[in-house]
Structure 1
Amino acid sequence: MHYTSLTQFISDQNAALAKGPIAVVLVEDDVEINTTLRHNLQLGFKHVIALMPAQFTLPRDLQETVHRVDYNMSREAATEDAINALIAAAPDQWIYYCYNAEYLFYPFCETRAVTEMLAFHTEERRAAMLTYIIDLYSDDLEQHPDAVSLDRAHLDRSGYYALARPDQTKDGHPKERQLDFYGGLRWRYEEHVPPARRKIDRIALFRAAPGLKLREDHTFSHEEYNTYACPWHHNITATICSFRTAKALKTNPGSRYDIDTFKWHNSAPFEWHSRQLLDLGLMEPGQWF
């Protein structure tokens, strides 16, 4: 299932876009494309879409199970343009988006499909879910110069914090049930990260709605989508465990030679299990048990 443009895919795949949840993988380079796609298939997404450069290839099994769409991720606003086009084409469907070398974890994901989790979230009258981007990195940058290794992946077990999100339309007063979250490599190496890119929160799971637009800062035009919980109790949150920041820091000439290791006293091996993330307080089940 190979499409030469997103326009062609949307035109030809009305059936796919009419049944969610849908996972969209935005491919920026050739690192861990296959594992990212397979991870989303294993979670139980009904359809997985790979927006990727034309020169990249997929193995035969993924060619048969993934909607591969030729797409240039290097241009400005590539993420927003793609997701907003899919929002318009898939009304009322749950959509998840991530980049390659990013892996979604939600409470009890080892035994419960993403469809079960989103069904419960929908019953709680929620149309979006907050996800935290938890940085992964190899503990040996000599062996893995791009900082990516599934076998040697580490994360920061502490150093995360939140600040009130100011509402510029109300003289900077905090927005209701909205926070800006920080931590991980973007916090520890903030001198190499532009201020607008330092947040680790992303509304990566959401339900498409008429008029909904994704903005450049990974928030949405409907303010309720940007909240971390409903007014009456806490809701499920999830994490996206991501090598993206570590890759960028080790490939950017401005930071590459300043970093010999990402390990510090709060590093811990990543266990690739939701229990570790729950124990560290990096996501919560809300009322879902």
Structure 2
Amino acid sequence: MRYNSLNTFKMQGKSSVSKGPVGLILIEDDVEIDSTIRHHLECGFAQIIVFSAPRHTIDPALEAKVIRVDHDMLADNALTDVVNTVIDMAPKVWLYYCYNTEYLFFPFSEHRTVGEMVAFSTEERRFSILTYVVDLYAGNLDENPNAVSIQDAYLDKSGYYSLARMDSQNNALDRQLDFFGGLRWRFEEHIPKPRRRIDRIALFRAQDGLRLNEDHTFNEPEYNTYSCPWHHNLTVAICSFRTAKALKRNPGSTFEIQSFHWHNSAPFSWHSQQLLDLGLMEPGQWF
């Protein structure tokens, strides 16, 4: 199924988001589109919806398994336009969003589905799941000048930290933290300050009036918290080449970066256990 605009999808596609969890994949360029879709199909989403400008090509075998909506993800406000439109279409449905070259991992994801995970979260009366965006980067930039390599991917095994999130009166917000690390921390001089955080609420249950902001927070404060008041909740990770791509694409940084390697680089195993061992996600009470 393919819709020729976001507005057409809004008017005609409500039945496709009636059952969750629904994965929204936002295509910004031609890099690793197929591997991104394939990975998320294997996660167990009830439906995958791909938002992409018509110029981008998807393997026909994969395109047959998803819904495609023609929408330019490089346009102004593209993120919030897409996610908030789907929120309005799918009240009480669990939603997830990511970009191409981003890959969702969650505790025990090799043998459990994302549907099982959000069902557990719902039982805990928890309707949002904190997501750490873990930077991936190619080990050899001479061979992979766009910094993307599925076969030769690395991540930082340390260097992550959090700070209290403050309100407009400089008071710490309840159970809200700003998380930092990875390439956005190591190369922060090339990253605008509002974009240095690595936290995102990428998995959440839609509700009436909920709105995603451009900084990946929501207008409902409880959705922005890292856990509920009574115990720790599970968290997930999105392993992402997106920052590495941007740093090598940007003329202001590409010639200053010959390698992303440092003493805390480690080969990425493409397995949830590595992320659990590094503390980059937690199972909470889900065993």
Q: TM-score, normalised on structure 2?
A: 0.99
5+ long unaligned stretches in structure 1: none
Q: C-alpha distance in 1, partners of 2:189/2:12?
A: 45
Give the superposition deviation at 1:12.
Answer: 2.1
Of 206, 209, 212, which aligns to 1:208? 206
- Deviation string 1:152-209 (CA, Å, 9 cap, x unpaired) is 00000000000000011xx211000000000000000000000000000000000000
1:1-289 superposed matches below 5 A: 1-168=1-168, 171-289=169-287
Q: Secondary structure at the match of 2:54?
A: coil
- Aligned length, in residue pairs: 287
Give a deviation string over 1:214-270, Cα, whole Å, max 9, x none: 001100000000000000100010000000000000000000000000000000000
Deviates more, 1:182-191 or 1:55-64: 55-64
Amino acid at match of 2:144: H
Offset at residue 55 of structure 1 (A): 1.0
What amino acid is the match of 2:214?
E
Residue 119 of structure 1: how far off its partner (Å)? 0.4
RMSD (Å), alpha carbons: 0.7
Question: Secondary structure, in 3 states, of the residue corresponding to 2:85?
Answer: helix
* 1:256 counterpart letter in structure 2: T
Residue 281 of structure 1 and its aligned partner are, at CA, apart by 0.4
SS of residue paired to 2:179: strand
Between 126-135 and 50-59, the greater mean CA deviation after superposition: 50-59
Q: Deviations over 1:95-122 (max 9, x none)?
A: 0000000000000000001110110000
In structure 2, what residue type is equivalent to 1:249? L
SS of match in other structure, 2:11: helix
Q: Is the 8 A contact 1:2 1:63 kept in 2?
A: no
What SS is found at the alignment partner of 1:118? helix
Specify the SS of the correspondent of 2:252: helix
Cα drift, residue 57 of structure 1: 1.8
Deviations 1:31-80 (A, max 9, x none): 01111111111000011011001111211211211111111111211101
CA distance in 1: counterparts of 2:34 and 2:177, whole angstroms: 33
Q: Give me the identity figure in percent.
A: 59
Amino acid at match of 2:227: A
* Aligned equivalents of 1:77, 1:11: Cα separation in 2: 20
Quote the Cα distance in structure 2 between the aligned partners of 1:57 and 1:197: 28
Letter in 2 for 1:188: R
The Cα shift of 1:90 comes to 0.7
Query: What letter matches 1:19 in structure 2?
Result: K
Secondary structure of the residue that 1:91 maps to in structure 2?
Answer: coil
CA contact (8 A) 2:30 2:57 kept: no
Residue deviations 1:117-171 (CA, integer Å, cap 9, x gap):
1100000000100000000000100000000000000000000000000011xx2
CA distance in 2, matches of 1:29, 1:241: 17
